[in-house]
Structure 1
Amino acid sequence: MAPKSILLVMDMLNDLVHPDGMGGKSYVPLCEERGVYDATKLAIRRAREAGVMVGYVRVGFSPDYAECPPGSPVFSKARDNGVFTLGGWGTEVYEGFAPEDGDPDIVKHRVSPFYGTKLEPLLRAQGIGRLILSGVSTNGVVSAAVREGHDRDYDCVLLEDCCAGATREEHEHALSGLKRFSRITTAAEVEF
């Protein structure tokens, strides 16, 4: 019998994947070219039809950026650029994949969806043993989720067509390393 699953939609935020967001010049073209928007919608629909929980992971910081690490190469410019501010448009999930009432909202302050979040207690409380992973970036949150999920004894499944990096090379390089820690499939082929 397959373990109970959750589909995690990670960092599919306006700041990153909306054409008007700060990621509009990096993630949006590759997401459009690769069909990530439609594939993610398909994965969410299929998960809901199968009765699988859909959880949303969002990076964000309070308006004073108290949780934002000033020395981080990834987040140090967030304050200067006014991005990833919780409570604002930028940290809302892109409308095409918007959560429904009752969907878990996991807010993170680092790359990993596990570090300092409610994700692990949620998974344990719900008896979830399999993580079905999607989002941006493949070499950021998706990679961290796969590696940490693996080391926490979760069965990890990566939906390759529901992920993107800022470049095709970033995406493909991340995938080449993640196939050791997860099964890689697509939104249409995954078994929920």
Structure 2
Amino acid sequence: MPSADSKPDSILLVMDMLNDLVHPDGMGAKSYVPLCRARGVYDNTRLAISRARAAGVMVAYVRVGFSPDYAECPPGSPVFSKARNAGVFGLGSWGTEVLADFAPQPGDPDIIKHRVSPFYGTKLEPLLRAQGIRRLILSGVSTNGVVSAAVREGHDRDYACVVLEDCCAGATEEEHDHALSGLRRFSTVTTAAQVSF
């Protein structure tokens, strides 16, 4: 537990753990949900959040989403171009709410992004600088999407990056494993139970 005159310089980022992606009734039910269940991602993410809060570490939520008219949605993106027609990632909808198991508490930062990266066009970096954050503890889906982008961009902005591999999933085990193999060069890879908050 930090002393009263100091505050932790770490932040736990819970990224894209949205109903659209990780709820059994969401559009990701056929890909992310089975892998999240098989890998224990739901329980491990709850553990990570609980441990972070107990240590006084800020917990922030990163959510992909677009305005009701999808004005920010890139029509040529292989990742997002079908969002409008599929009716997913619409801000203000059930689909872009954080899964209830990990519900944000009042005051937790809510970082909205319109691309894969949690840094691009968001308030994340100003928040990190204002709070004196030096270490990013990363979780979420997908490992090869937002988690990979956060590690690579965080590294190049001189943040120490820690990936909680048991709080992450790809659309397939292969995607998850391949992503982690590349991220070990730029980050520490550990688990929700082993990470030091």
TM-score (norm. length: structure 2) = 0.96
Could you list the runs of 4 or more consecutive aligned residues of structure 1 that deviate by over 6 angstroms after TM superposition? none
* Secondary structure, counterpart of 2:85 in structure 1: helix
Q: Is the 8 A contact 1:3 1:130 kept in 2?
A: no
Q: Is the 8 A contact 2:152 2:186 kept in 1?
A: yes
Equivalence for 2:64: 59
In 1, Cα distance between the equivalents of 2:157 and 2:43?
30
* Secondary structure, counterpart of 1:22 in structure 2: coil
Q: Is the 8 A contact 2:8 2:57 kept in 1?
A: no
1:27 aligns with 2:14: no
In 1, Cα distance between the equivalents of 2:103 and 2:138?
16
Report 1:80-99 matches (<5 A).
80-99=85-104
TM-score (norm. length: structure 1) = 0.99
1:5 aligns with 2:6: no
1:79 aligns with 2:80: no
In 2, Cα distance between the equivalents of 1:147 and 1:23?
25
Q: How many residues align?
A: 192
In 2, Cα distance between the equivalents of 1:87 and 1:34?
29
Deviation at 1:3, TM superposition (A): 6.7
* Secondary structure, counterpart of 2:108 in structure 1: coil
Deviations along 1:52-78, one digit per CA (max 9) or x if unpaired, are 000000000000000000000000000
1:133 aligns with 2:138: yes
Report 1:152-163 matches (<5 A).
152-163=157-168
Equivalence for 1:117: 122
In 1, Cα distance between the equivalents of 2:158 and 2:98?
28
Q: Is the 8 A contact 2:8 2:56 kept in 1?
A: no
1:142 aligns with 2:147: yes
In 2, Cα distance between the equivalents of 1:141 and 1:156?
13
Q: What residue ranges of structure 1 are gaps of 5+ in the alignment?
A: none
Percent identical residues: 84
Q: Is the 8 A contact 1:158 1:184 kept in 2?
A: yes
In 2, Cα distance between the equivalents of 1:105 and 1:123?
13
RMSD between superposed Cα atoms in Å: 1.2
Equivalence for 1:16: 21
